[in-house]
Structure 1
Amino acid sequence: MSAPLPEGRQPKPPPARHVAVVDCGTSSVRAFLTEIRGAEQRILEDLVYPVDLTPGFTGGKLDRAAMDGVVQAFTGIRSAAESYGIVDIRAVATSAMREAANSDVLIESLRQKARIEVEIIDGSEAARLYFEALRVLLARCGKRLSGNTLMIDVGGGSTCVSLIRQGKLVHSVDEHYGTIRLYEQFRELKDSTDFAVTIDRYALGAAHMLLGRLPEGSVKHLVVTGGEVRRLVTLLTPQSLGLLESLDPVVVTQWFERMQPMTPQQRADACGTDLFGAARLLPAATLIRHLCAISGADRVLVPQLTLRDGLLADLLPGAHGPHYLDSQHLLAEARQLVTRYGGNHDYADNTASLAVQIFDQTRNLHGLGERDRTLLEFSALVHDIGAYINVRERHKHSMYIILAADIAGLTGDEQRIVAHIARYHRRSAPQAHHRDFQALHRRSRVLVSYLASILRLAYGLDVERTQRIKKIRCEVSRDHLLLHVDRRQVALERWSIDGKKGMFVETFGLNVKVIPREGE
């Protein structure tokens, strides 16, 4: 224990850390050069470089001028960062770069010319970053959002949708609805009144789709972010200066209806911006009004946050960094997948419980850590969701669903591991001709073999799906793993385990036997 400080003397402040976070979007590259001292952040510079990556929306190739503009932007950020002595730079790119056919060429150019590694993130990682940014902002405001919160970021190329339930991120999806994307889609109409009408109709369909894909349950809070959304707040409530402002959908609707019959120049004059900037406000405004009308929300909360705030949140003390959510958040997402695909929660929870009991009691065999335990528990919860498509091949369909799902808080490798653990919970073990399995990294293949072997045993102990066995005690005795259960009649469980233990025997070199409560 450290000695108490002399009276009147202040504790020494934590050392400062200087970092840069960069977001490469559709129309700009933006960076925060930041000083982090403990939990406090101070923006040293807020850099903005205009770019044009709209060709990426069509899956087309970015031309040389577009790529040169991005390289110049990142080179400028590197130079500015070095002037502060910053070497720690975290940079991400979103939908436009993700969809461009030649994005790999641009990423390599940035690595060589600007000496910055850029990660193209998917929608689930973007959702996690916005969620982390919101958590930091709410803590700073001393506020808490209870119940179901729907958080939507309306970007230039896509819209990121997240469902937060009791403080946990349980569902996320990325939709191809963006302010610049819509402008490009309907630009032939931009000089006619059909432009606003068409965007309005398109937004109505998008709102129905966004809300229709949500898990059941009413939404208590609607949180909407994005550059155009923040501009709407400034335009419609100019006195708003707080970190978390409220926007009235009635006011938004009235504004949109005033803008609708105007010419592009009249809109630009009314909004105090250029033609392009005014046109981009329309998709954001009409999506908000339709979301509120369909969901019944009487107001929209608009936090002053960006993707860069999420990147900074990953760098605060205690944060785990990119692609990470703790086990409670991940398991909440897993349970939401079970609900979405009509699974039996009692069965899923009990299978997961049995699996982690075996994992915990066999640590000397596998030597795995807590993150691996979470991956096993996640896999055990969702292993049966493929039955939603077809019962006979459900293990393969489970793998397909997991790989296709937006799961925030897992890296790409972890998502593939979870999918393979679910795939191998029944039927054949991994084979040399299973290309997807063989494509995994060696460590990932070993991890799948370990965890799928354990999941098979848990799966084999609930043939009736009645949770008859809830507790087990594992004992390693010579060349056997003995599963002690609190039941006398275990003939069915023995038959089941005999048919499912093969992968465990091959992986760990131990036979498996079920032991009833009072011996034989």
Structure 2
Amino acid sequence: MIDIGSNTVRLAVYQVMDNGAYRVIDQGRWSARLSQKLNGDGILPLDAVSELVEVLRHFRRICRMHGATRIRAVATAAIRQAANRREVLERLGRKAGLNIELLPGEDEARLGCVAMLRTMDVQDGFLVDIGGGSTEVSLILGRKLVNAVSFPFGCVNTALRHSLGGGAVSAAQIERLQADIQATMREQAWIAEHPGLPLIGLGGTTRALAKLCQRADNYPYANLHGYEVPVKKLSDKLNALAPLNVDKRRKVPGLSKDRADVIVPGLAILQSVTRMTSASRIVICGAGLRDGIFFETCLPRTDVSDASMVLEESIRNLAALYPSVPQEHPLQVNKLALTLFDRLASSGGQSLPSRARAWLDAASRLFKIGAIIDVNDFSDHTFYLLTHAHWNGLTHREILLTAAIASYRGTSPARKKLSAYRQLLQNGDYEAVFKLGSLLQLAAALDRSESQAVTSLHVSVARGNKLKLAATARHPLPVERTEVDSLAKEFRKIWRLTPRLTVV
């Protein structure tokens, strides 16, 4: 997927496996600044087109190296706005050997929504994608696209229009810039009719804002997707960056050097959208146009109206990407773990977070993926994979907790794994990990032979704080009984119950 954007040209090479698993295996980017290169008559000069041809040829070679069977290239605002767009597209296609689609603004907004809905469980919200030459704003209600518009202003052409060169940007300049933007946005009355919704940000400007905030806060989790930025922090960053010239902005920790000259107009646009929508918060979506094109082009259509499908699809994809064990064993452990949870969560005196079952469900289906690296230390590798893989449907905190549950090997190792992420944790999180992790251990013990011998399990609490596990099984369970007994002491410390397995 090649996105010929107004500010940046980006490549993403996707691999789709026979089992349906998919992942990005290579990426490329080139700072194009096509909007800056349009002359006074709106013509994109041929020397800029020739430079772009060489970039596309390079991207095409990367695709061939990976054996890509299909390349889809789209052009957005800068070429849409070029007076010679027909000639540009013809020359690019002929010289670079690609069929390049000119993407209408409405389709650009729609594909951004596809990317967001496939990777986030947001029910309602505004979506904003600030590019170099255009800004798309969309309204999502009940996980359906209700309204969308593409405005002809982005971070690059706004900088040109308001003569924001390499120097500091005054408060008066920002005020004039935002007055123009808001006047244009007021033509779309629906933008102001749903105050208090989150604003989901796609594109380089919102990602740059997130990186700045994460760097300033020493945020311990290196993931942008799902990261939340309070509205006040947007104002703080804009106010801090605007008085600096470009050279000084290039030295700001966390800010990419090639974005230093367009970050202020980009943030000013974002602030305008935030104010017009009266957004409650800004949430970063790491997926974008290329992902939306990929989902629509290469994957089966999915009913995105159900938000739970986001997490479900991520679990399915991770399990397929890391097929370390036959799936019958994790599925059996998952079934047993949820049976134990449902019985114990309903018993008195057990305090667990409302999302605990979802964490245990995910952890019990993915707990063995680390075995693809090394079966002896698979739990440590599982924690690493789950905290570094791209998966969706959980917050950053929930991903960390799920990874700790999936890799649980006792209270001390769990504390050690989570110690670097204390900033993200809440009161009670360690206790939840201990309870759910030990529950997963017990469920795995009940299928230690990996034979799926247990066909049903009756769980009850008896006198003397005994947790009776009455299993109906296809054969005796000596290995499972030994495993359960070895876990009993640790389990009793956490749950104040001693598990005992019997076969009925």
**TM-score category of the 2 structures, normalised to the smaller one:** 0.5 to 0.7
**1:126 to partner: Cα distance:** 0.2
One-letter amino acid of the counterpart of residue 152, structure 1: V
Alignment partner of 1:230 is 2:213: no
- C-alpha spacing 1:61/1:290, structure 2 compared with 1 (3 Å): closer
The residue aligned with 1:450 is none
**1:267 to partner: Cα distance:** 2.5
Alignment partner of 1:44 is 2:25: yes
**Secondary structure of the equivalent of 1:157?**
coil
Superposed CA deviations along residues 334-362 of structure 1, whole A, max 9, x for unmatched, are xxxxxxxxxxxxxxxxxxxxxxxxxxxxx
The residue aligned with 1:199 is 174
The residue aligned with 2:86 is 104
Alignment partner of 1:28 is 2:28: no
**1:130 to partner: Cα distance:** 0.3
CA–CA separation in structure 2 for the residues paired with 1:185 and 1:23: 24
Paired residues for 1:258-277 under 5 Å = 258-271=240-253, 277=259
How many percent of aligned residue pairs carry the same amino acid?
Answer: 23
Superposed CA deviations along residues 132-176 of structure 1, whole A, max 9, x for unmatched, are 1011112xxxx2x234x2111011111011111211112111112
CA–CA separation in structure 1 for the residues paired with 2:177 and 2:246: 19
- C-alpha spacing 1:190/1:309, structure 2 compared with 1 (3 Å): same
The residue aligned with 2:264 is 282
One-letter amino acid of the counterpart of residue 309, structure 1: D
Gaps of 5+ in 2: 305-504
The residue aligned with 1:303 is 285
Paired residues for 1:82-481 under 5 Å = 82-138=64-120, 143=121, 145-147=122-124, 149-187=125-163, 190-194=166-170, 197-207=172-182, 209-210=184-185, 213-215=188-190, 217-219=193-195, 220-238=197-215, 239=219, 241-271=223-253, 277-319=259-301
Counterpart contact for 2:126–2:140, Cα < 8 Å:
yes
Match of 2:43 among 55, 61, 65: 61
Counterpart contact for 1:200–1:283, Cα < 8 Å:
no
**1:53 to partner: Cα distance:** 1.7
**1:96 to partner: Cα distance:** 0.3
**1:211 to partner: Cα distance:** 5.5
CA–CA separation in structure 2 for the residues paired with 1:234 and 1:23: 22
CA–CA separation in structure 2 for the residues paired with 1:316 and 1:274: 32
**Secondary structure of the equivalent of 2:101?**
strand
Gaps of 5+ in 1: 1-20, 327-520
- C-alpha spacing 1:64/1:40, structure 2 compared with 1 (3 Å): same
CA–CA separation in structure 1 for the residues paired with 2:241 and 2:94: 46
The residue aligned with 1:344 is none
Displaced runs of 4+ in structure 1, greater than 4 A?
271-276
- C-alpha spacing 1:231/1:27, structure 2 compared with 1 (3 Å): same
The TM-score with structure 2 as length reference comes to 0.54
- C-alpha spacing 1:313/1:200, structure 2 compared with 1 (3 Å): farther
Alignment partner of 1:77 is 2:59: yes
- C-alpha spacing 1:230/1:275, structure 2 compared with 1 (3 Å): closer
Counterpart contact for 1:56–1:97, Cα < 8 Å:
no
- C-alpha spacing 1:72/1:253, structure 2 compared with 1 (3 Å): same
- C-alpha spacing 1:212/1:288, structure 2 compared with 1 (3 Å): same
**1:273 to partner: Cα distance:** 5.1
**Secondary structure of the equivalent of 1:89?**
coil
The TM-score with structure 1 as length reference comes to 0.53
- C-alpha spacing 1:58/1:300, structure 2 compared with 1 (3 Å): farther
CA–CA separation in structure 2 for the residues paired with 1:45 and 1:316: 17
Counterpart contact for 1:57–1:96, Cα < 8 Å:
no
- C-alpha spacing 1:200/1:146, structure 2 compared with 1 (3 Å): same
The residue aligned with 1:475 is none
One-letter amino acid of the counterpart of residue 21, structure 2: E
- C-alpha spacing 1:197/1:107, structure 2 compared with 1 (3 Å): same
- C-alpha spacing 1:79/1:276, structure 2 compared with 1 (3 Å): closer
